[in-house]
Structure 1
Amino acid sequence: MIRRTTLLASAAALVALPALAADPDLIVFDWAGFESEGLLKSYIEKNGQMPTYALYGDDDEAFQKVASGFKSDVTHPCSQMVSKYRDAGLIEPWDVSRIPEYDNIAPRFKDSRIFNDDQGVWYIPTDYAYTAIAYNTDSVPAEDVASVQSFLDPKYAGRISLPDNTDDIWSLALLATGVSDWTNLTEEQFQAGAQWLRQAHENVRAYWADPSELAQLMATGEVQLAWTWNDAIALMRQEGFPVGFQRQSKEGSATWFCGYVNMKDAPGSEDKAYDFINSWLAHSSAASLLETHGYALTNEAAMAEITPEALKAAELDPVDTTLLAQTPLDPAMRDRMLEEFEKIKAGF
């Protein structure tokens, strides 16, 4: 399963209902599609069943649910959201002495005072990949995706799909306007990105909410170009769709990572929360995550066991291009991005 959701599952996620009722002592609030047994082998071996999952479709939706009182034991935000959880007093530090593989997490994923300060470790990064250009290789010449400006090309009017996701949509807009570091945006850079998005909006057939939706749009021929994650590419290739993934456009691509936070005043078992995160970081999870989602595990020692050929096939091998890292950014600026994107989608 590659983060794929049906319309019914997506509707369930919107109201945060348990999607897979199992172990009542651990509630995991997660992206739809991550309720994967391959990532929880040791958890199942020890506890006899999967945790109980509640699912969501994007980071902003998840934050609003927990901020409004929804209770979970662990939640899976991407890195740029962690400061919001901290500022809202929703999470507490992890005890990394109980997480043996923590030291094997690549330092680049831990190097932030938002994640790790004198109060403790607030975030356990687990998974990462890219956001780049997906295109139909049968109908779109490779030269047309040499630049992200292809999303403005009148030739593809009504034939592109962009993510209905604040962080991914702005990574595209900023790269397109020459910005590769979003941590200190100027007003001029923000306005340039917004203007570019308004132009791209004129060409949008649909804003995709999950990879299965995008796969359907591309399979029918409605969409020829999209800005998306590795899992959508893996899903389409598994289904035999002729899709390319241009990660080395002239302007570059985005890279992101996500992980788990330990919720404060959680209803379930703290011990099982550690069983869960230790299962996720286990070496066996690297191959499973690659196969089921097309993502890489942050555990460097585990990833060293993956062959270069497998990484290349999953579009996870290193690229020689500009990368916009979707790392933590100023929460006030991110709120502006969210508000501006909503206006753009509404036609303003």
Structure 2
Amino acid sequence: MTRFTRLLASTALALSVAAPAMAADSELTVFDWSGFEIDGLFTDYVAKHGDVPTFAFFGDDDEAFQKVASGFKADAVHPCSQMVSKYRDAGLIEPWDTSKLTSLDQLDPKMLESPVFKDDQGLWYLPSYWGATAVAYNTKEVPAEDVATLQVFADPKYAGRISLPDSSDDVWALAYLATGVTDWTAITEEQFQAAAAWLRTVHPNVRAYWADPSEQTQLMMSGEVLIAWSWNDGVALLQAEGFPVGFQREAKEGASTFVCGWVNMKDGPGNEDKLYDFVNSWLRHDAAGALVEGLGYGHSNTVGMSEIPAETLVTAGLQPVSAPSLPQVPNDPSLRERQLQEFELIKQGF
């Protein structure tokens, strides 16, 4: 299968996660993003145990949290950083045993610069990868100058031809950037209202709020959508199909970045030794190439990333850029809940 058809298959499985979606090693259950079942990430685990773990899949962070908060049992979950405080506050996770982590000293220390991730109680979060949310566009139909600004999403010229993620965090990151904000840890009421008003202006232009990269990819390949607010993997999938796609991370107002990683679920049903074998396989330095090649994301292992050719990083959209950035770091949980509720209203046309 191509990366595109593989993601379509995993996305179909992700539509039903009441039970594990891809059964394999029954002694370890991993709740992960659809599309991340890339062989090169699990090489050491498979070599030792003969098979991959049992996987269940999700399409967005809030879906994953609601699932485990409602009783779905997994040994590890793969949320992005802004969700970690929610898992901690709900009492769902426990610290990692750092003595069992073989590549911890190779992980980018900047990805752990938060007391939400690491405090005197221990290490709560293992950063695994980072990416960008930026402007994907059809290079044959959309002039580069049009995507030099995020205001392209509000341009009547593209009414019905744009797509945004059905992800509150990413949509609000876009709205804050478009209204001049690059730090969402100290949002004022005026900034919130300006971003909400901008999203309401954009909403009539939206063809669809994509649920996962495979849906975004289909929308763009069909020609229905010309411009999307996209993660790296949506672009990687289009590139793999030979589609004329650009990834604009240097719009005047900037782009967003995010870090995701592993949390250790309290009272996980599986084998703890296998859990550590799994995360150690995922975080080893030679897994970086498989991740960049497969999904276009940057790995948290700095040794592994140092071995990736510069041209490969450019193709994946991981090169350094000169533009504003809004990092999706942990923010006020009450603000995040307010954003989520407001986004639901906006999607309904209110």
TM-score with structure 1 length normalisation?
0.97
**Is the contact between residue 81 and residue 328 of structure 2 (CA under 8 Å) also seen in structure 1?**
yes
2:138 match? 136
**Is the contact between residue 171 and residue 326 of structure 1 (CA under 8 Å) also seen in structure 2?**
yes
Deviations along 1:86-144, one digit per CA (max 9) or x if unpaired, are 00000000011211211111111000000000000000000111110011111111110
2:95 match? 93
1:339 match? 341
How many angstroms does 1:234 deviate by?
0.9
**Is the contact between residue 13 and residue 32 of structure 1 (CA under 8 Å) also seen in structure 2?**
no
Selected match of 1:51 from 50, 53, 65: 53
Identity %: 61
| 1:273 is aligned to 2:275 | yes
1:225 match? 227
**Alpha-carbon distance change, 255 to 9 in structure 1, aligned in 2, over 3 angstroms:** closer
Q: Distance in 1 between matches of 2:153 and 2:315?
A: 25
1:27 match? 29
Give the aligned residue type for 1:111.
E
Give the aligned residue type for 1:267.
P
Q: Distance in 2 between matches of 1:191 and 1:343?
A: 14
Give the aligned residue type for 2:123.
V
1:190 match? 192
1:202 match? 204
Q: Distance in 1 between matches of 2:236 and 2:71?
A: 35
**Alpha-carbon distance change, 301 to 213 in structure 1, aligned in 2, over 3 angstroms:** same
Deviations along 1:130-176, one digit per CA (max 9) or x if unpaired, are 11001111111111001000000000001000000011111100000
Q: Distance in 2 between matches of 1:12 and 1:263?
A: 20
Q: Distance in 2 between matches of 1:16 and 1:228?
A: 28
Where in structure 2 are there 5+ consecutive unaligned residues? none
Q: Which secondary structure state, in structure 2, belongs to the residue aligned with residue 256 of structure 1?
A: strand
Moved more, 7-16 or 185-194: 7-16
Q: Distance in 1 between matches of 2:39 and 2:50?
A: 12
Q: Distance in 2 between matches of 1:149 and 1:48?
A: 51
**Is the contact between residue 2 and residue 293 of structure 1 (CA under 8 Å) also seen in structure 2?**
no
**Is the contact between residue 105 and residue 300 of structure 1 (CA under 8 Å) also seen in structure 2?**
yes
Question: CA-atom RMSD, angstroms?
Answer: 1.3
1:118 match? 120
| 1:325 is aligned to 2:327 | yes
Q: Which secondary structure state, in structure 2, belongs to the residue aligned with residue 132 of structure 1?
A: strand
TM-score with structure 2 length normalisation?
0.97
| 1:307 is aligned to 2:312 | no
Q: Which secondary structure state, in structure 1, belongs to the residue aligned with residue 85 of structure 2?
A: helix
**Alpha-carbon distance change, 331 to 25 in structure 1, aligned in 2, over 3 angstroms:** same
Give the aligned residue type for 1:204.
V
**Is the contact between residue 4 and residue 241 of structure 2 (CA under 8 Å) also seen in structure 1?**
no
Deviations along 1:193-228, one digit per CA (max 9) or x if unpaired, are 111001110100001111111111111111111100
Q: Distance in 2 between matches of 1:144 and 1:340?
A: 28
Q: Which secondary structure state, in structure 1, belongs to the residue aligned with residue 21 of structure 2?
A: strand
Deviations along 1:6-63, one digit per CA (max 9) or x if unpaired, are 3884464343431210111100001111122210000001111100001111000000
Give the aligned residue type for 1:75.
V
Number of aligned residue pairs: give it: 348
**Is the contact between residue 11 and residue 214 of structure 2 (CA under 8 Å) also seen in structure 1?**
no
Q: Distance in 2 between matches of 1:12 and 1:223?
A: 24
Selected match of 1:237 from 222, 234, 239: 239
Give the aligned residue type for 1:197.
L
Q: Distance in 1 between matches of 2:46 and 2:103?
A: 18
Q: Distance in 1 between matches of 2:177 and 2:292?
A: 27
**Alpha-carbon distance change, 8 to 104 in structure 1, aligned in 2, over 3 angstroms:** closer
Q: Which secondary structure state, in structure 1, belongs to the residue aligned with residue 113 of structure 2?
A: coil
How many angstroms does 1:2 deviate by?
6.3
**Is the contact between residue 17 and residue 56 of structure 2 (CA under 8 Å) also seen in structure 1?**
no
**Is the contact between residue 4 and residue 211 of structure 1 (CA under 8 Å) also seen in structure 2?**
no
Selected match of 2:262 from 247, 256, 260: 260
How many angstroms does 1:307 deviate by?
1.2
Where in structure 1 are there 5+ consecutive unaligned residues? none
1:284 match? 286
2:172 match? 170
**Is the contact between residue 2 and residue 292 of structure 1 (CA under 8 Å) also seen in structure 2?**
no
Selected match of 1:39 from 15, 29, 41: 41
Q: Distance in 1 between matches of 2:5 and 2:107?
A: 23
Give the aligned residue type for 2:70.
S
